[in-house]
């Protein structure tokens, strides 16, 4: 079974609380903090295998900031696109879908997942190639969001757009090339939001398939925002509009 190594006490706690299959946890010998105690209590209550180890053992796994704990878990589950969309459409009137085009940085991806989980994004779609891997960096940065937002990996994002359009989902592309501002948009119905990387942006093929495009207003000397920040701005505008 494919596994992922995750780093940090909080990330491991989130994985356990999300009922992810934990293979084993390695904890720094002598660690003493309320968070470490919370992790230990969870491990005992779930009968998860663990070992106390010296710091040298943890650093053999990785030089990353492990914060005194490392765990090995089953790989993050992904979903088949069509069945995922059908399930969501059957249970929710106005879902929010997110498509990420060319987001290759694991920390950006994790930060997007963290915010997506906070605002209850219904599903997130990424291409199989040209995307950040679902690894420990993503899990840690997402603060558990990687376990809460359904993720679908597809051969081509165009296929997702065609399928969503067939289900009457309005497709919006967030791009600095747009004429219309985010604050002129109408985001109350069932929607899908496409985001691209800040260096390349959304591919022209996907832009042409979008029903509408909008941009985030910025000062003239600023070309773009970090994509995870842009996602956060847009997600909370969706919430603001739907609260009216």
Task: Please identify, among 16, 43, 74, the residue that sits at the C-terminal boundary of a domain.
Answer: 74
Question: Are residues 17 and 87 part of one domain?
Answer: no
Hey, how many other C-beta atoms are within 10 angstroms of the C-beta on 47? 6
Based on the domain organization, do 49 and 121 belong to the same domain?
no
Same domain? 86 vs 68: no
Are 132 and 63 in the same domain? no
Same domain, 148 and 36: no
Per-residue confidence (pLDDT) for residue 154, from 0 to 100: 94
CA distances from 83 to 15, 54, 88, 90, 152 (A): 24, 46, 9, 11, 10
Q: How large is the angle between the packed helices 227-243 and 106-118, nearest 10 degrees? A: 10
Chain centroid, CA 4 distance in Å: 16
For residues 49 and 90, state if they share a domain: no
Gap between the Cα atoms of 90 and 118, Å rounded: 22
Angstrom CA distances, 79 to 85, 122, 132, 151, stand at 10, 12, 17, 6
* Overall number of domains in the chain: 2
Q: Are 113 and 150 within 8 A, CB to CB?
A: no
Same domain, yes or no, for 189 and 162?
yes
* Selection from 8, 53, 39, 43 nearest residue 23 by Cα: 43
Q: How many CA atoms lie within 13 A of 192 on its CB side?
A: 30
Q: What does the pLDDT profile of the chain (244 residues) look like in tens digits?
A: 467 888 889 989 988 998 888 889 999 999 989 999 999 999 999 889 899 999 888 887 765 667 789 998 877 889 999 999 999 999 999 999 999 999 999 999 999 999 999 999 999 999 998 899 888 888 888 988 998 999 999 999 999 999 999 999 999 999 988 989 999 999 999 999 999 987 889 999 999 999 999 999 887 766 667 999 999 999 999 999 998 7
* Domain final position from 53, 74, 95: 74
> In this structure, what CATH number is given to the domain that contains residue 22?
3.30.1330.30
What's 161's domain CATH number? 3.40.1280.10
- What does 114-181 look like in DSSP terms, one character per residue? HHHHHTT--EEEEESSSS--SSHHHHHHHTTGGGTS-EEEES-HHHHHHHHHHTTPEEEEE-TT-SSB
- The pTM score is 0.81
Residue 210 lies in domain: 81-243
- Pick the last residue of a domain from 74, 101, 132: 74
Q: Which two tokens stand for residue 178?
A: 């747009």
The span from the CA of 53 to the CA of 27, in Å, is 6
């Amino acid at each position: 079974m494919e596994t992922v190594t995750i780093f940090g006490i909080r990330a491991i706690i989130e994985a356990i609380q999300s009922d992810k299959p934990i293979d084993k946890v390695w904890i720094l010998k002598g660690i003493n903090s309320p968070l470490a105690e919370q992790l230990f209590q969870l491990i005992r209550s779930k009968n998860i295998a663990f070992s106390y180890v010296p710091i040298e053992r943890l650093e053999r796994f990785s030089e990353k900031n492990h914060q005194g704990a490392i765990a090995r878990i089953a790989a993050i589950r992904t979903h088949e696109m069509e069945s995922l969309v059908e399930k969501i459409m059957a249970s929710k009137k106005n879902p929010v879908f997110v498509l990420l085009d060319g987001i290759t940085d694991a920390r950006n991806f994790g930060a997007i997942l963290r915010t997506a989980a906070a605002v209850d994004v219904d599903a997130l779609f990424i291409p199989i190639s040209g995307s950040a891997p679902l690894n420990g960096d993503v899990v840690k940065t997402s603060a558990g969001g990687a376990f809460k937002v359904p993720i679908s990996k597809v051969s081509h994002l165009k296929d997702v757009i065609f399928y969503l359009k067939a289900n009457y989902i309005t497709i919006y592309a967030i791009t600095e090339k747009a004429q219309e501002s985010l604050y002129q948009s109408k985001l109350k119905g069932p929607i899908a939001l496409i985001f691209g990387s800040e260096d390349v942006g959304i591919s022209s093929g996907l832009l042409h398939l979008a029903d509408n495009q909008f941009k985030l207003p910025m000062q003239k000397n600023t070309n773009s925002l970090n994509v995870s920040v842009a996602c956060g701005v847009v997600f909370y505008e969706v919430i603001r509009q739907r609260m009216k």
